[in-house]
Protein backbone atom coordinates (compact mmCIF):
# COMPACT_ATOMS: atom_id res chain seq x y z
CA UNK A 1 0.00 0.00 0.00
CA UNK A 2 2.98 2.27 0.44
CA UNK A 3 2.94 5.41 -1.62
CA UNK A 4 5.61 4.60 -4.10
CA UNK A 5 6.95 7.45 -6.10
CA UNK A 6 7.59 6.96 -9.74
CA UNK A 7 9.45 9.10 -12.18
CA UNK A 8 8.44 9.69 -15.74
CA UNK A 9 11.44 9.35 -17.99
CA UNK A 10 9.65 11.27 -20.71
CA UNK A 11 8.83 14.50 -18.89
CA UNK A 12 11.02 13.98 -15.84
CA UNK A 13 8.20 14.56 -13.40
CA UNK A 14 7.72 12.61 -10.22
CA UNK A 15 4.35 11.01 -9.98
CA UNK A 16 2.37 8.45 -8.07
CA UNK A 17 1.03 7.09 -11.33
CA UNK A 18 2.64 4.12 -12.96
CA UNK A 19 1.98 5.56 -16.35
CA UNK A 20 2.78 9.04 -17.59
CA UNK A 21 3.11 10.49 -21.06
CA UNK A 22 1.76 7.23 -22.40
CA UNK A 23 4.61 5.15 -21.05
CA UNK A 24 5.50 3.36 -17.87
CA UNK A 25 7.20 5.37 -15.18
CA UNK A 26 10.19 4.04 -13.30
CA UNK A 27 10.08 3.40 -9.59
CA UNK A 28 12.46 5.53 -7.59
CA UNK A 29 14.66 3.66 -5.20
CA UNK A 30 14.77 4.80 -1.57
CA UNK A 31 18.54 5.04 -1.85
CA UNK A 32 18.06 7.94 -4.21
CA UNK A 33 16.62 9.94 -1.35
CA UNK A 34 19.51 9.23 0.97
CA UNK A 35 20.73 12.74 0.32
CA UNK A 36 17.69 14.08 2.11
CA UNK A 37 18.06 11.70 5.01
CA UNK A 38 18.93 14.36 7.56
CA UNK A 39 15.79 16.19 6.59
CA UNK A 40 13.86 12.95 6.34
CA UNK A 41 14.66 12.31 9.96
CA UNK A 42 13.01 15.55 10.97
CA UNK A 43 10.11 14.73 8.69
CA UNK A 44 9.64 11.32 10.27
CA UNK A 45 9.71 12.81 13.75
CA UNK A 46 7.27 15.49 12.71
CA UNK A 47 4.95 12.92 11.29
CA UNK A 48 5.21 10.77 14.37
CA UNK A 49 4.44 13.73 16.59
CA UNK A 50 1.51 14.65 14.39
CA UNK A 51 0.17 11.13 14.75
CA UNK A 52 0.53 11.27 18.51
CA UNK A 53 -1.36 14.53 18.62
CA UNK A 54 -4.27 13.02 16.78
ZN1 LIG B 1 5.36 12.33 -18.12
Give the distance (Å) from ligand 1 centre to CA of residue 24: 9
Tell me whether residue 1 is in a domain: no
Q: pLDDT of the chain along its 54 residues, tens only? A: 567 899 999 999 999 999 999 999 998 876 555 555 666 666 666 666 666 666
Tell me whether residue 18 is in a domain: yes
Tell me whether residue 30 is in a domain: yes
pLDDT at 3: 74
Tell me whether residue 24 is in a domain: yes
Helix (H) or strand (E) holding 52: helix 37-53
17 is in which domain, residue-wise? 6-53
Give the distance (Å) from ligand 1 centre to CA of residue 36: 24
Give the distance (Å) from ligand 1 centre to CA of residue 28: 14
Q: Indicate whether this model's pTM tops 0.85.
A: no
Give the distance (Å) from ligand 1 centre to CA of residue 26: 11
Cα dist from 6 to 2, 14, 47, whole Å: 12, 6, 22
Tell me whether residue 39 is in a domain: yes
Give the distance (Å) from ligand 1 centre to CA of residue 18: 10
What is the rounded distance in angstroms from the CA atom of residue 42 to the CA atom of residue 35?
A: 13
Number of domains in the chain: 1
Tell me whether residue 48 is in a domain: yes
Q: What residues contact residue 7 under an 8 Å CB cut-off, 6+ apart?
A: 13, 14, 15, 25, 26, 27, 28
Q: Return the CATH number at 34.
A: 2.20.28
Amino acid sequence: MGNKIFKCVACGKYTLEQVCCGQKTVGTKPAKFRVDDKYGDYRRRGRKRAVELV
